[in-house]
Amino acid sequence: MDANRWRLTRELFEAVVDLPRARWESRLAELCPDDAALREEVLGLLRADADATGGTAIAQHAPNVVAELAEHLSEDPTVHAGLALGPFRLVREIGRGGMGAVWLADRADGQFEQAVAIKLVRGGWDRAEDIARFRAERQILAGLSHPNIAHLVDGGMGEGGRPWLALEYVDGVDLGRWCDKHRLDLADRQRLFLTVCDAVQHAHQRLVVHRDLKPSNILVRADGVVKLLDFGIAKLIDADDAQVSATRVFTPEYAAPEQVRGETVTTSVDVYALGLLLYELLSGQRPYKVENSTPAAYERAILDQEPTRPSVAATRDGGGMSAANRHLTPARLRRELRGDLDAIVLKALRKQPTDRYASVADLAADVRRHLARQPVHARRGNFRYRATRFLQRHALAAALSAVAVLALVAGLGVALWQAQVARNERDTARQALAFMRTLFTNADPGQKQRGDLTARDLVDEGVRSVRRALAGQDAARADMLLAMGSAYLGLGLPDEAQPLLDEAGAIAQRLGDTLLVARILDETCSVLQYRNRADDCVPLVDRIEAMLDPSDPEHVETLVRAIDHRSTAHAPRNRHDAIVADSRRALALIPATADYDRLRADVTGTMAFSLVRLNRAAEAEAALRPLVDALRKAQNVEPRWLADVLDNFASTLTTKTDEALALNAEAVRLMESVYGADSPVIAGKVSNYGVALYKANRYTDALPVIERSIALNRAGGTPRATSLANALGNLGALHFQLGHDDASRAALNEAIELSEALQRPLDIGRALRWRANLSLAQARYADARADAQRATSVLAPLNKPESITVLRGRALNLAIDYAERGSAARTDAACAEAQGIAARFAALPEAGTPEARLATLLHALCGAAPAEAFKTAYAALPPDDFRQRQVRRIEAAWRTD
């Protein structure tokens, strides 16, 4: 019976079931006059229902019914406390389900300490069925042994013949809530889901279908271990159903269509339930929209509706909370779910069991393929499907043909392989040499009749020559195309680089050259990052890691650079712990030889950057100083390499201002010597120098440097947009510090607009906070409060609650309140907040900074001498610090009161 017919059948059944039996046929004829077969199906259901309930002998079961009702009405949680069952003694009730109550119990025989969960089968009017289900559950659990399934400890019959089961006690929370509480990203959620799949597959291998998989039956302990619970309605696949239950028992929200229709239950029921679970873990939503949260409404939705794609459901009603719980923006969450994950989940949720994954293992395998960035089977194309079906129909002929072809190929391969390799190597060497000769000839100004050839001219000529010089030599041509693409990117020309990388990638794929494919993917990562699409690089890095062998020396450099690229995607989300961990892993892969010094320096610089942001600057300095000393002594060091190392090292010298400034200035000069003073490529080093001057309180010196970095970024166009947004934020902060309020607001407005377009939450939050500070100094309190609160909403999900970033936001919001409301803002709650902020600042390395001193003022205003607090604050703050203006605003409000 299809879903529509079942829905009609159910509606007719519900419309007639309460009528006297004599009126069934006439009423059905009125409701369904044109479908005699459907009327017969409904009559069959009505008669079966009457037969099942007509012989219930309710009078015979009345004592049990009354006893159970009394037990529920009493709602006394201590009714069985202290009851001894076998070696256990009940402590307290911890749950109640369809079969009865679940109690926490302790071992009471003195042999050893043990806490268990004991199921007490309820007293019921169908007691024989309950006992049969109890025995089935005990038998099922006895046959399961898996670290992620709560195991059977003991069981027996209590006084009055009441059955009980002692199970492993799991002190945890359900899987969904645990993931949200720990704000796991999508990859970690999928890995936990795979743990559940392994447990369910273990049960299936032992011919057990759980039949009631749902979040409340999957708990996670405090140590992160997943436990699958409640096999109370599980089904033995090879058992006689009558021996277990003749009743349809399931949770409507997590039931498969065949369960709702009352059809045969197979392992596909659990596949469907796991699809629902994965849907919720990924999107934070349910796949069906129901008007009323009733069992009937859920059943109708399961039968009639097609599930909404997770990528669409995830951003329903904005999706802000779901995205924040996964360290993503709503737009990014939608993009992450679109494609593979949509396909995997929807395949698991197909209405017909035969259209789903054939097993839980197949579902898990597709999830693993997605995590490894490999093609998932849920998205197989039509051609492959048709080819597979053809081979299935002609299996014997196809097998014999394959054997014949393989034999022929093997014979020819043995005969021709050595000769072909020799010819290929000879031809490749000759054509590569010819290509290089042509390239150098073209570099001669006399040959081109011009004396102003640039690096761009040389690369352009090389690209035009590569196809002619290396015709027929695919491997060499792919290598040269990759080199030309890298050269374009080094010149800041990603749009010119990408087509060459695409062409090289197609050749490498055709050749089956794994390492070359990985190198091209890694360079494509560089292009994506240059285009402000670092997130899109992460799947490529995952593919590279899946392709390469870290124990193969030829693979190491590409693998390490790919891991280093992932850090660029982590940085905008403040995931510096992850960057440090990845960097240490990458450093451990690099051989301890001089050949890898450049690679080691790059990765160490990445790690140092994140260590500084984790307030571990001393570790960062210790890691980079030996490298700087070695480069100073070395001969013929590449200027670009030295500039990168010096710039990274300068950022670690947080308390050595003069040395840091000298290093930043030297890095800029080195970059200018290579690329020229007007190249957008040097904008990053110029910006870093300007920021260093700002941090040294040399505001007037910093202004032209930061303005220069902005001009260079603008000249670089779209590829420099991220750097431009960051530089504009720096310019806005600097103008504010110098008292140039209009210029500050203009720069910050542009920074916010550009950062929003680029979806850079850290840059958005920082610029908003600076604009809030500016509005506070200008007494524009409504604007200040709106920006401060929005900055908090953007930055808080990306930072730990105790971080300096969150602390700054709390202090700013409190300062705005004090400036707007004066002493009226001095409530008990505000004073407690001020005390907490001041105490936290005192425990951080930023204890002596102006922002920490402002926090001290906010706390001091809760004391008995506000005038003295203001006097102390003015004296403690640098005379040219913008917080002097904010203190004046607060003081004016306080004195007015």
* Residue numbers belonging to the annotated binding site: 119
Pairing of strands 218-221, 172-174: antiparallel
Contacts of the segment 175-178: beta carbons below 8 A, 24+ positions apart: 175/215, 175/218, 175/219, 175/220, 175/226, 175/277, 175/281, 176/215, 176/280, 176/281, 177/215, 178/220
The conformation of residue 75, written as its DSSP 8-state character, comes to: -
Q: Report CA-CA distances (Å) from 390 to 385, 393, 554.
A: 9, 5, 41
Q: What is the DSSP string of 625-676?
A: HHHHHHHHHSSS--HHHHHHHHHHHHHH-TT-HHHHHHHHHHHHHHHHHHH-
8 Å CB contact between 597 and 631 = no
* 897 class by beta-carbon count within 10 Å (0-12 exposed, 13-18 middle, 19+ buried): exposed
Question: Helix (H, G, I), strand (E, B), or coil: what is residue 164?
Answer: strand
Q: How wide is the angle at C-alpha 722 spanned by C-alphas 718 and 724, nearest 5°?
A: 80
Q: How far apart (Å, rounded) are the C-alpha atoms in residues 500 and 479?
A: 10
Per the annotation, binding residues for ATP are 119
Catalytic residue of the set 212, 535, 644, 881 = 212
8 Å CB contact between 560 and 599 = yes
Residues 6+ apart with CB under 8 A from 366: 344, 347, 357, 376, 377, 378
Q: How far is CA 29 from the centre of its chain?
A: 56
What counts of helices (H) and strands (E) characterise the chain? 41, 11
The structure tokens 């590279």 sit at 544
Start-to-end Cα distance in the chain: 78
Q: Is the dihedral of CA 218, 219, 220, 226 positive or negative?
A: negative
Question: Helix (H, G, I), strand (E, B), or coil: what is residue 471?
Answer: coil
Tell which phi-psi region holds residue 740, choosing left (phi > 0), alpha (psi between -120 and 50) or beta: beta
Q: How far apart (Å, rounded) are the C-alpha atoms in residues 51 and 64?
A: 22
Q: How far apart (Å, rounded) are the C-alpha atoms in residues 799 and 260?
A: 45
The conformation of residue 308, written as its DSSP 8-state character, comes to: P
Identity of the residue numbered 379: R
Q: Which tokens go with 261?
A: 């229709």
Active site includes 212?
A: yes
* 837 class by beta-carbon count within 10 Å (0-12 exposed, 13-18 middle, 19+ buried): buried
Q: Which tokens go with 843?
A: 């425990």
The structure tokens 């069981």 sit at 155
Q: Per-residue b/e over 309-327, b at no fewer than 16 CB within 10 Å?
A: bbbebbbeeebeebbbbbb
Residues marked active site are found at 212
